[in-house]
Amino acid sequence: MTLSVCALRSADMTTDQEKNELTQTPLLKIWVPWLGMGGCKLNRRRGSSVPQFTNSPTLIVMVGLPARGKTYISKKLTRYLNWIGVPTKVFNLGQYRREAVQSYKSFEFFRPDNEEAMQIRKACATNALKDVVIYFSKEHGQVAVFDATNTTQERRVSIVSFAKEKGYKVFFVESICDDPEIIAQNITDVKVSSPDYLNCDKDEALADFLKRIECYKQTYVPLDDEKDRRLSYIKIFNVGSRYLVNCVQDHIQSRIVYYLMNIHVTPRSIFLSRHGESNMNLLGRIGGDSGLSPRGHKYATALGTFIKSQRIKDLKVWTSHMKRTIQTAEHLGIPYEQWKALNEIDAGVCEEYTYEEIQDNHPEEFALRDQDKYRYRYPKGESYEDLVHRLEPVIMELERQENVLVVCHQAVMRCLLAYLLDKTADELPYLKCPLHTVLKLTPVAYGCKVEHVFLNVEAVNTHRERPGNVDVSRDPEEALKTIPDHF
């Protein structure tokens, strides 16, 4: 990403020598000091619309007995941080152990008096931390989540000195739960089907796992109010009814705490849909604020019927401020809330153009967009990256809510879907979000189950694949190859 900042073209070539002359990078549209063709000084801007606010890498250390949701939290938090642009990776100790000890026999491996196993487990932890170092120093990682029980003071003390030595910040996330029903549910949801229990029946697996937990209980020392008062941590009690937050050091820890305090595990479904087909869609024009086409109105009615048939409890409906999503919601007969943040990506000077017109009037812009669709910002408009930051409060509220239907737009839906399904920034702008199709997402285990429901009302296709040739010097035909049909 930093490379594209160096490709500087300047409209101000005549006064370049003047100190403090700025030039706008062509793809990201950021203003940087002009330092001649030879090089480019990267100011603080890394391409994102929000400053990153991270200096030292951060090591998040999970703490808790088995089946307390550590892996669930690790994965979800990582998904969120990656989506908002903070490179994050989970290091799950169980996976290291499974690699070291090819086949799992029984809970006896975890007995505190099993010296041989202890050696292996310590070695695995060391290897995991070695990989963390590589992730930070060579792979531009910013946050690493060490997903392990870390239930002894001794283990935690050694991690803290390791981190101090390397210059990493440490933030502990401890999950404490004494509700036997929640624990049994967790075990059923994710343990019984783990690679460890491949050849066991459910009851055997459950019984063995409960014994495994007992092995840890004997030596478990939770983070201590007094002794650990200088550590930075959050303790989560009983899946979120209560939190203890100690010594938050910086911006990213503050964001992590806010996120963790907003997520819940109550079963619910999230429905994503675009507005019904619009008049601009029919003409192959992007952006604008047009109303629904007749087929679009038909879809909205069908959507209303579909929603009723789902018999959803307390469904919240959200739309953008644009006419086409509101017209769609109006057909549902349910109260809806409008969010400006759900407005479609602003195409700036290209608003209401067809792709043919963009190619005609702004061929270079068109090519730059194909080169890096996630980071490309329309002149006087936005990029997908900007959109993600704009949508962050929507995602936060989506986490707090239960059943929600979001009626939005193509680029917006791609961003929300990428968050929910853990898609990368490269995949995001090309996710398929066709008109007249509802996506029903239901959290399950560590991820999300997706159902695509096409409501049988015809619509134009608005999905443009990345063409083969993305060079600014390409022929118009090469640029227009993947354009969907329109009237």
Using CB under 8 A, list all residues that contact a second copy: 20, 22, 24, 29-31, 33, 43-45, 49-51, 53, 229, 241-248, 250-251, 254, 257-258, 261-262, 289, 291, 297, 300, 318, 321-323, 326-327, 330-331, 335-341, 380, 386, 389, 393, 397, 400
> Least Å distance between CB 298 and a second copy?
12
In the complex, the smallest distance separating the C-beta of residue 385 from a second copy, rounded to whole angstroms, is 10
Closest to a second copy by CB, 195 or 243 = 243
Closer residue to a second copy in complex, CB, 377/414:
377
User: Is 452 a catalytic site residue?
Assistant: no
Is 344 known to be catalytic?
yes
**Between β-strands 233-237 and 242-246, what pairing exists: parallel, antiparallel or unpaired?**
antiparallel
Residue 279 among known ligand-binding residues = yes
- 280 annotated ligand binder: yes
The CA radius of gyration of the chain, in Å to the nearest whole number, is 26
The neighbouring-strand residues paired with 59 are 144, 170
- In the complex with a second copy, which residue's Cβ is closer, 31 or 454? 31
Shortest Cβ 65–a second copy spacing (Å)? 21
Residue 186, annotated ligand binder? no
Is 68 annotated in some ligand binding site? no
Shortest Cβ 361–a second copy spacing (Å) = 19
Q: Where are the beta strands (DSSP E) in 177-313?
A: 233-237, 242-246, 270-274
Distance between CA atoms of 425 and 47, rounded to whole angstroms? 13
* Rounded Cα distance, 210 and 226, in Å: 30
390 is in an annotated binding site: no
| CA gap 169, 179 in Å, rounded | 32
Closest approach, Cβ 247 to a second copy, in A, equals 6
For the bound state, the minimum distance from the C-beta of residue 453 to a second copy, rounded and expressed in Å, comes to 22
Residue closer to a second copy, measured from CB, 147 or 372 = 372
DSSP H helix total and E strand total for the chain: 16, 14
Kindly tell me the sign of the dihedral angle through the C-alpha atoms of 318, 322, 328, 332. Answer: positive
Give the residue with the Cβ less far from a second copy, 17 or 20.
20
Question: Nearer to a second copy by C-beta: 33 or 363?
Answer: 33
Which one from 174, 344, 365, 392 is the annotated catalytic residue? 344
According to the annotation, is 281 in a ligand binding site? yes
Select 53 or 454, whichever has its Cβ closest to a second copy: 53
Q: What angle do CA 58, 63, 64 make, to 5 degrees?
A: 160
Pairing between strand 447-454 and 437-444? antiparallel
413 annotated to bind ligand = no
Q: Of all residues in the chain, what percent are helix, strand and coil, respectively (each to 5)? A: 40, 15, 40
- Tokens matching residue 53: 């606010």
We find the least distance from the C-beta atom of residue 225 to a second copy, in angstroms, to be 8
Q: Which positions ≥6 away from 472 have C-beta within 8 Å?
A: 363, 364, 367, 368
Q: DSSP string covering 446-478, please? A: TEEEEEEEE-S--------PPPS---TT--HHH
Q: Are 484 and 462 in contact (CB under 8 A)?
A: yes
Q: What span, in angstroms and rounded, lies between the C-alpha atoms of 144 and 370? A: 32
Catalytic annotation, pick one of 275, 297, 331, 409: 275
**CB nearer a second copy, residue 245 or residue 448:** 245
Residue 418's alpha-carbon distances to 19, 28, 277, 385, 401, in angstroms, are 42, 21, 22, 12, 19
Distance of CA 161 to the CA centre of its chain: 31
- Tell me the DSSP string of 121-159: HHHHHHHHHHHHHHHHHHS---EEEEES---SHHHHHHH
Least distance (Å) from a second copy to the CB of residue 266? 14
Q: What are the catalytic residues? A: 275, 344
Sequence ranges of the binding site for substrate: 274-281, 324
